């Protein structure tokens, strides 16, 4: 998945003042076992889970693409077998809004 192309397309199809909501599991905190597991698992998850990147820093990518977060929440969601998964809930506007 080309994130830059994806974000440009989201921006293109939004009406002026349009709202964008993203929900994604994201990169675990630095120097944690969970982040190490994400780094090891991502090459496999990209192939068998429809391009899923367990180690993507979605918040940084959204910020770099110019999206403005109105309500941004970081939380942990229970998951098996790896325990709580870091998640990002991003409610905001596309660049230039």
CB-based contacts of 43, cutoff 8 Å, min separation 6: none
CB 32 within 8 A of CB 55: no
What is the rounded CA–CA span in Å between residue 95 and residue 3? 15
pLDDT at 11: 87
Residue 97, pLDDT above cutoff 80 = no
CB 97 within 8 A of CB 24: no
pLDDT at 9: 92
Cα 75 → chain centroid: 12
* Full 3-state SS string of the chain: CCHHHHHHHHHHHCCCCCEEEEEEECCCCCCCHHHHHHHHHHHHHHHHCCCCCCCCCHHHHHHHCCCEEEEEEEEEECCCCCCCEEEEEEEEECCCC
pTM assigned to the model = 0.79
Q: Give the model confidence (pLDDT) of 23-63 as tens digits.
A: 988 889 899 988 998 999 899 988 998 888 888 888 999 99
């Amino acid at each position: 998945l080309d994130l830059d192309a994806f974000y440009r397309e989201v921006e293109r199809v939004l009406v002026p003042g349009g709202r964008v909501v993203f929900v994604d599991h994201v990169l675990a905190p630095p120097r944690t076992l969970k982040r190490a597991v994400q780094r090891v698992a991502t090459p496999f998850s990209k192939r068998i889970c429809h391009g899923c990147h367990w180690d993507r820093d979605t918040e940084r990518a959204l910020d770099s693409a110019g999206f403005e977060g109105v309500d941004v929440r970081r939380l942990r969601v229970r998951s098996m077998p790896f325990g709580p998964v870091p998640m990002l809930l991003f409610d905001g506007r596309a660049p230039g809004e």
